[in-house]
Every structure is written in structure tokens, then in C-alpha cells.
Structure 1
Amino acid sequence: MSLPMLRGCCRVPSALRLFVNESIILSRSGKQRLPPSSPAAAATAPVRPYSSDRGGLNQNQKVVVVGIPNPFMWFRTRIYYFLIRSYFDKEFNIEEFTEGAKQAFSHVSRLLSQCQFEALEGLVAKDLIAKLEEKCSLMPSSHKKALSAESDEIMYTIPGDVGIYYDDNGRKFVSILMRFWYLTSARLPDSDMEGTRFFQVAIGGEGEAETKRLLTANYEFQREFTKGVPPDWTITRIEHSKLLD
């Protein structure tokens, strides 16, 4: 099973291909791992403006994701990208990977929100699907709706941890954790979403505005680079802050 927008990483521009791979789903306890790079903090990133009416005045507002980049961590992740290009995939490009991961995040989060767990097979690791199904069965409908991230509501995307793994049989794996910030209009109780931001977004004529929250999510993509194994990525970790912690 594949997605139209997800093809082989760095072999088709701006895309990823996600397939579940039985060897990737194995427990990591038997793998040897190189020291992972810590995530570089998100740099200040202005995103597209929204307008709101306050007191009859039109004001342009911007949703801005602010962070302080760590130069050491930023440099270390670049070393990992260099290692991936040198020893695993010479066509690897983090910008193309990021764009493909963004599309995959939007698609998978929508399926998760709709509890279409069978449709997640081939995209998300099987053991993870079982855990997600268990968690979602206990969630109220408002929380499920908030899991979905439409592509035009994703405010910012940045790579986090990068890991290189070897198991006892010499198989090679690469994992990349992606961090996403997105807006949702789902009605969520304030007590459950303490610390999240509110935004007033104009969606129609004068006086018509919609309140949205800025939420975060972490998705980890993993691929086996052993010779002879198909170049397929699978999602092995899904976290939605305040929803699927």
C-alpha cells in the first residue's frame, strides 16, 4: 500500500514512500545504535498571516514559532545527514525529506483522527497501530478531531533526532524524528489543553472569526538500508502533545 504523494526518499523530488517492513518493526533492544543527534531547537519561523477583527479594525496577525537554535546540535545533525549521503543514500536531501514527511503527517493524522486503523497498515509499524487503536478508543471525539492536521494548517516543520542503527546481523537502519506545529479548530476543554495557544482566525465576512489552537506532534520515520531491502520508510513513533502523549 502506498500514498500518491509518498515515493522513494530523494528519488522523486519532495516526497517519501512509506511501507511497513517486518524487519523494521522488530524490537530495538537487539540493535546497536550510534549516539543519536539531539534535536536542534526550532529557529524563529514566521508563517503565513491571518487577519482578525477587533473593535471594528482589521489587524494582520502572524503565527510565529519561536525557538533558540543550539549551534552544536545543529552542526551534529548535519554530520548525520552527511553520513546518510556518504554511506546509505547519496541522493538524500533533508529539504525533500521534510516536504515528504509533512505530506505523510497530514495524511496519516487524518486517518488516525477517523480511526481508520486498517488504512494505516503499510504506513505505520504494526505494533504501533495496535497501541494507537487502544489509546484512541479512550479518547473523546473532540480529541480525535484534533489529531487531524490539514496540509494548509501545518504552520512549521523541522527535523529533530537523527539516529543510525545496526543490529547483530549487520542490518542498517536510519530514523529521523520530525516535529510539526499545526492549527486545529476542534473544541477542546481548556483543562485538557493547558499551555496551548489560541488564535482568532477570520474565515468570512466582518465579525466572523474562528478560534484555533496551535498544537504540536512528533512523527518518527525509519528505513532499513540493508542491501537488497526495498527503499521504504515507515512511521515507528507518533506523539501528539496533550492528545497522545
Structure 2
Amino acid sequence: MALPMFRGCFRLSATFSSTRLFLKESVVLNRSAKTRLPLPYPVGVAAAGRPYTSDQGGHRQNQKVVVFGIPNPFIWFRTRVYYFLIRTYFDKEFSIEEFTEGAKQAFSHVSRLLSQCQFEALEGLVAKDLIEKLEEKCNLLPPSHKKALSADPDEIMYTTPGDVGIYYDDNGRRFVSILMRFWYLTSAHLPEDTIEGTRIFQVAIGEERDAETKRLLTANYEFQREFTKGVAPDWTITRIEHSKLLD
């Protein structure tokens, strides 16, 4: 059993307001590099919409931040070919949109368990050999870094599929793997020189003095499913990377 939340149909609605979001941005640059944000996938990231709410003088304000990306055309085309092959030879009902929504839920749930060091709860969701490695790494992290692992659903700014793989083993078993990339905000207090190349946003809601500083982090989660006849249709996380937190 793995990732049961993938079995349903996920169609999460997104609402947008015309309220302008005031952003103060300060960038933490890698001292030894020139790039601002080391994106593992060629994506352009910009501020634009997620909900942030506050009560100022009895009036409730809704303001949002949206992050959009522009993928590499070659990778975009290649992944679409793989999606076609998955629907044709493995799962006729496969939808990358529904998969992405399910992956976001799984990412938020698993990252929270990692942050709380609830490794036993990861069984059935994450590959066993990976859990052992994660436990060893997480136990060495300071509290602030553990907190930074957790991604609240409302703080996930952007999600995109990365590499897609279809392969067979020597016994004829069939597998599909999909690497998902996530950009999310965290309010965890991290030293500026700890996570190289990350970007910091001050989200000002109401008065400027009430601005909340958030850091934009990245994470890669690889999901794998075996499509051999008679095997349960579950996805298992076989790879987890959180910026520089779990190196």
C-alpha cells in the first residue's frame, strides 16, 4: 500500500483576487556563483498569487502570491510523449493534471511527517530503504531546518513534472516513475548562508511593520508505480530532495 490519496480524482479549484500584493524582495546570492535561484528544471519563477489573509481594523483582506514557470520546450514535448505512452500501454485513465494535484497533497503530507521525524508513519508511502536514509539525515538537522522541511498546502507556490521514466526489470515487471518539482514558502528562520541561492520574500499585509519574511525553497520528489498485472495500483515515493537541507 502506498500513497492512497492518489486513487481519487483531485480537482482543486484556484481562486484569484484583483488585490495587489506588495512584495519586498531580498535575494540571498550564492557567493561562489552568479545565479540567483538554482532551479533544477529550466523554469522562470515570478511573484504573482497564493492566499494570505489578515484582519486590519475589522476588515478582512485577501492577498495572493502566484508563481508561474516556463518549462524547457524539449523537456515539455518529451514528457507529453511519455504521458501518451502511459495512457496507451499502462493506464487509460491517467491524467497528469490529476496526478499533479495528488502529488502536491502527498508532498505536503510526507514533508510534514519528515519535519516531525515521524518515520514510522512514512511506511507504505516512502520506499523502505529511503526511510532509513532520511531518518539518519533528519536526526542530524537543527530544529529550524526540520521546520523548513514542512510544506503547508497553501505555501506551495509552483509544481511541475520533471523527468518521466518507463522501464522493465529482468523479470518482466513494468514500472513508471515521475519526478515532481515543488517550490514552497517557509517562515522557518534559516541562516542566510545556509541555503545557497534561495530567495527571500517579505509579504506585507496591512502595515509595513507587519511584514512576514518567507523563504522560497525547492524540493524534488520521485513517485514510482509498478504496472505489473496483479500488483496494487499505488504510487511510492522513491526519492526525496529538499534544497540543501537533506544533502
Q: What is the rounded CA distance, in whole Å, between the counterparts of 2:41 and 2:190 in structure 1?
A: 30
* Counterpart for residue 122 of structure 1: 124
**Percent identity between the aligned chains?**
79
* Counterpart for residue 72 of structure 1: 74
Residues 122-169 of structure 1, C-alpha deviations (whole Å, 9 max, x = no match): 100000000000001111110000000000000000000000110011
Q: Which amino acid aligns with 1:13?
A: C
Q: What is the rounded CA distance, in whole Å, between the counterparts of 2:51 and 2:108 in structure 1?
A: 21
Q: Which amino acid aligns with 1:238?
A: I
* Counterpart for residue 184 of structure 1: 186
Structure 1 residues 133, 203: closer, same or farther in 2, change over 3 A? farther
Displacement, 1:74? 1.0
Residues 51-104 of structure 1, C-alpha deviations (whole Å, 9 max, x = no match): 9xxxxxxxx88554554x322221111000000000000000000000000000
* Counterpart for residue 33 of structure 2: none
Q: What is the rounded CA distance, in whole Å, between the counterparts of 2:143 and 2:113 in structure 1?
A: 14
Does 1:42 find its partner at 2:43?
yes
Does 1:14 find its partner at 2:15?
no
Helix, strand or coil: the match of 2:49? strand
* Counterpart for residue 103 of structure 1: 105
Residues 194-224 of structure 1, C-alpha deviations (whole Å, 9 max, x = no match): 3111111235666212111000000000000
Q: What is the rounded CA distance, in whole Å, between the counterparts of 1:2 and 1:71 in structure 2?
A: 32
Structure 1 residues 187, 44: closer, same or farther in 2, change over 3 A? closer
Q: TM-score, normalised by structure 2?
A: 0.78
Which runs of structure 1 show a deviation greater than 6 angstroms over 4 or more consecutive aligned residues? 1-4
8 A Cα contact 1:40 1:74, kept in partner: no
8 A Cα contact 2:3 2:235, kept in partner: no
Q: What is the rounded CA distance, in whole Å, between the counterparts of 2:246 and 2:205 in structure 1?
A: 29
Question: Number of residues paired by the alignment?
Answer: 211
Q: Which amino acid aligns with 1:74?
A: W
* Counterpart for residue 196 of structure 1: 198
* Counterpart for residue 157 of structure 1: 159
Displacement, 1:243? 0.6
Q: Which amino acid aligns with 2:43?
A: A
Say which of 163, 170, 177 aligns to 1:175.
177
* Counterpart for residue 220 of structure 1: 222
Q: What is the rounded CA distance, in whole Å, between the counterparts of 2:242 and 2:120 in structure 1?
A: 20
Helix, strand or coil: the match of 2:134? helix
User: Cα RMSD over matched residues?
Assistant: 2.6
Give 5+ residue unaligned stretches, structure 1: 16-38, 52-59
Q: Which amino acid aligns with 1:70?
A: N
Structure 1 residues 118, 209: closer, same or farther in 2, change over 3 A? same
Q: Which amino acid aligns with 2:202?
A: Q
Q: What is the rounded CA distance, in whole Å, between the counterparts of 1:7 and 1:166 in structure 2?
A: 23
8 A Cα contact 1:50 1:202, kept in partner: no
Helix, strand or coil: the match of 2:77? helix
Give 5+ residue unaligned stretches, structure 2: 12-39, 54-62
Structure 1 residues 40, 112: closer, same or farther in 2, change over 3 A? closer
Q: TM-score, normalised by structure 1?
A: 0.78
* Counterpart for residue 230 of structure 1: 232
Q: What is the rounded CA distance, in whole Å, between the counterparts of 1:201 and 1:158 in structure 2?
A: 24
